[in-house]
Amino acid sequence: PTGSYFKMEEIIKLRKLYGLKKVDRANSVGNRKESSAEHSWSCLILADYFLNITDIKLDRLKVYELLMYHDVVEIEAGDTPMHKKEERKNQKERELKALNKLKHEIPKQLKTKFVNLVNEFEENKTKEAKFAQAIDKLDAEIHELDYKKDWKGWTEKQVREYYQEEIKDFPEIVDAFEKILKYFL
């Protein structure tokens, strides 16, 4: 081929999305904290598993894309764990500001897709967004199976309040949530 398929400036902009690897979450991984990129990857694996056992018809690619991009705003806004109630109060505002900043810093080929996916995930109106949110919640709970010490101080009521709304429409995910919660208690 004689043409150039990309410009170096676009590759540099694409690397902005790699910043998700540098965002630490509250969850442990060995002797360090999990990155938001690792969380996104495990959400994709978890979604693939549940998409194969659910009877609900979902657009598989849309679910994967929602999960792939759902936490990208954390590159600018940081992760806000469920136990940081004060930080959670202005989380939406911080994430909107991050979205508006990031959409100008990533390759133009991804801008519209990125904005649409983040908005769809946050609005939580489509069945794919609801499923992706359920997976997002369940992933954190499953992750902690290896790190029970991170759950010290949590009550069953707190965990249910944080998780149940997002998972309620998916019986397979509710079943997994209940079994894992019993393991912790």
Question: Which two structure tokens, joined as six digits, stand for 48?
Answer: 């693939």
DSSP code for 124: T
Q: What angle do CA 93, 170, 179 make, to 5 degrees?
A: 100
The alpha carbon of 40 is separated from its chain's Cα centroid by a whole number of angstroms, namely 5
Average pLDDT estimate for 89-93? 86
Of 13, 9, 6, 5, give the one whose Cα is nearest residue 111.
13
pLDDT, tens digit (0-9, with 9 covering 90-100), for 138-185? 998 888 888 777 777 777 888 888 888 999 999 999 999 999 888 877
Using DSSP, state whether 59 is helix, strand or coil: coil
pTM for this entry? 0.90
- Per-residue confidence (pLDDT) for residue 147, from 0 to 100: 76
At residue 2, does pLDDT exceed 70? no
